[in-house]
Amino acid sequence: MRTAVIVTTYNRPDALAAVLEGYLAQTGSRFELLVADDGSTEDTRKVVTDYAARASFPLHHVWQEDNGFRAAAARNRAIAATRADYIIFTDGDCIPPRDFVAQHCRLAEAGYFLSGNRILLSESFTQRTLGLRLPVHERNLSDWLLPRLGGDINRWIPLLRLPDGNWRRAAPERWAGAKTCNLSAWRDNLVSVNGLDESYSGWGLEDSDLVIRLLRAGVRHKSARFAAPVFHLWHRENDRSRLPENQRQLEALLASDRIEAQLGLSQYS
């Protein structure tokens, strides 16, 4: 199974470097990585170039012009740039544990997409992580107990590993809570729904739109919780001025039976 990891980013090269360190340390799976860049400056390009020279896997920079928040378009461009069978979506401020890719690949199943969760790092711990280049991805479960007690992370329980079973398929129709900071799907299924919908403008809900359309196409939800978390670096809240309009667009989708994105992946084929 050919696997690609798509990492979105925008003008946060220090966070992206910490994330890429995590992917350099991945164990047990072969993959390629595409940085889906929503218009960053040369500082980000230099980070990608430097890590591409160090990586044991193909690492590509897929850049688009800076024209506001267009994460859906950045992801679609990256999907179009790979021929991978299976695609893992995450963000340039989400550090993966060392077995993140291996766990997504292990849990991948025909007819399902995977949704994992995240652990939020505090502002002060994020500053220390980036300033001191702390290898967050190297920490074991026990290493996180004191940071949890000290408020450096918002929760510890998701770091536990539970045995696999039918419980992972217990909510096959669930779309709420699934986020593209930790989501994976088969390429064929993404193509069948025309990828992400770029008609969403600004931050918010384009990932919910994608998951709803995958469900309508017959692709079911499978949980990657207690297997493949990510460590989400703190950042200021994104501009949410377009969220009410995006909410109206999502409500219109829910009221329809549409499966394909209105403005999606097909424009890059």
Percent of the chain with pLDDT over 90: 90
Q: What average pLDDT score do residues 135-152 get?
A: 94
DSSP per-residue letters across the chain: --EEEEEEESS-HHHHHHHHHHHHT--S---EEEEEESS--HHHHHHHHHHHHH-SS-EEEEE----S--HHHHHHHHHHT---SEEEEEETTEEPPTTHHHHHHHH--TTEEEE--EEEBPHHHHHHHHHTT--GGG--GGGGHHHHHTTSBS-SGGGS-PPPSGGGGS-TT--TT--TTEEEEEHHHHHHTTSS-TT--SSSSHHHHHHHHHHHTTPEEEE-TTT--EEE---PPPP-TTHHHHHHHHHHHHTS---S-SS-GGGG-
In the predicted structure, residue 227 carries a pLDDT above the cut 80: yes
pLDDT tens-place string over residues 178-195: 999 999 999 999 999 999
pLDDT tens-place string over residues 71-117: 999 999 999 999 999 999 999 999 999 999 999 999 999 999 999 99
pTM for this predicted structure:
0.96
In the predicted structure, residue 158 carries a pLDDT above the cut 90: yes
The CATH number of the structural domain formed by 3-268 is 3.90.550.10
pLDDT at 239: 67
Give me the residue spans of the domains in the chain: 3-268
